[in-house]
Structure 1
């Protein structure tokens, strides 16, 4: 039986590469994204199923879970959940006070980089099969004073430890992949200068940017039989830009 894999934010960058990796293994992959056009394009490109869902919106996440239940049927199970939705929101603007802008920036980061994972996982957790895996995409920003974004990713790792303890008795693992600088994503938008790129590469030990496919391979491993005793962990994939011991 092929595994069923749900990947939020699966229409570009790390999410898309992860969807491609599981699809290449013959999994039944479902990708989500906020826009109909990008969801349709990713689904057609990879030969997977696509569902429009803004994972910051509770109603849309509930609808996704209901649709998943209809698809899998009464006895069907979800084998892998990859929480890849998130990113770096643009700076808040508007006519409010400076404090309003700060609050908006923090709330947006919190919603996109923490609550997407919390809401989606909570909505589908009863569908997770024994031997399954929940994998959330974190960031080196949690270790590097990354402001609102880094704080949200740090909270993601803290929540993951709690999630692992809850799901472990059911035979489900939960881990975070903390990625460093990864090229060929939409993370920086148009804001990545050559100088910034060079500085990020210089921080690594191997003197290169990461690739989406490398994060995808790490996610694939964490969902494999060889990783069944790895849970509650934050796995750093950054070329040595941040080291642990």
Structure 2
């Protein structure tokens, strides 16, 4: 049976790689993003349905959900570092805007999208949210939002798991080849992040995509409420 997969933030980076992985398995994939040109281009290239949707806007999220029937896999990949706000504001106003943006982009996008499709998730479905190693250290407002994402996921799992729906977070380490750092990654910083890993290489979008694909597979049905760290050993747990 063909699975229906929704990937928010599916036009680039990790989200696009995850969407492409499920599309390669002949799933019916929907990707969403804020910009029509990138949504249409990305959907055409990977063989998915593209939907323009700002996942911080509840009305747009509700409209997206209305387009879907059943949802077998939801991947909350929308997020990222907040953009700099407009000038001419006080330091406190700027700080407040930054934190609001971080929480909206990296936590509320997942909360709103998941709530909008909750009734469409059946026994055997999976909710996967993309977290970050920044939740563990040096993350600022972005890391705090990703830490909140993991806490929310634990409560979500307690609610959804009795219905047969698994809920997990993939906490990504440094992933090369994305636009996350907006061209600000120096060679020195790249080297330092790679040196932190045990396997001495940066992560790739395919590392995260394959983990997401596994978490949505029958072999992962007893894995729920977890934060899965995919970072080459840069952060370890006991």
SS of match in other structure, 1:82: strand
Q: What is the distance in 2 between the residues matched to 1:90 and 1:96?
A: 15
| Pair 1:91 & 2:87 matched | no
Secondary structure of 2:67's counterpart equals helix
TM-score normalised by L of structure 2: 0.98
Cα separation, 1, equivalents of 2:23 and 2:228: 23
Q: Deviations over 1:36-93 (max 9, x none)?
A: 010011111011111000101111101101122xxx2xxxx21000000000123334
> Once the two structures are superposed, what CA deviation does each residue of 1:204-234 show, in whole Å capped at 9, x if it has no partner?
1111110001100000000000000000000
CA shift for structure 1 position 121: 0.2
Alignment of 1:43 with 2:43, yes or no, is yes
The RMSD of aligned alpha carbons is 0.8
Structure 1 position 58 matched with structure 2 position 51: no
Give the counterpart of 1:226 among 219, 222, 225: 219
Measured in 2, the distance between the counterparts of 1:67 and 1:150 equals 32
- Runs of 4+ aligned residues of structure 1 deviating over 3 Å after TM superposition are none
Which of 202, 205, 215 aligns to 2:198? It is 205
Aligned residue-pair number: 238
**Aligned-partner Cα distance in 1 for 2:100–2:21:** 32
1:34 Cα deviation (Å)?
A: 0.6
Q: Aligned pair 1:121/2:118, yes or no?
A: no
Offset at residue 154 of structure 1 (A)? 0.1
Deviation at 1:184, TM superposition (A): 1.1
Post-superposition shift, 1:116?
0.3
Q: Which residue in 2 is equivalent to 1:17?
A: 17
Mapped partners of 2:44, 2:84: distance in 1: 33
Unaligned runs of at least 5 residues, structure 1: none
**TM score, norm. by length of structure 1:** 0.96
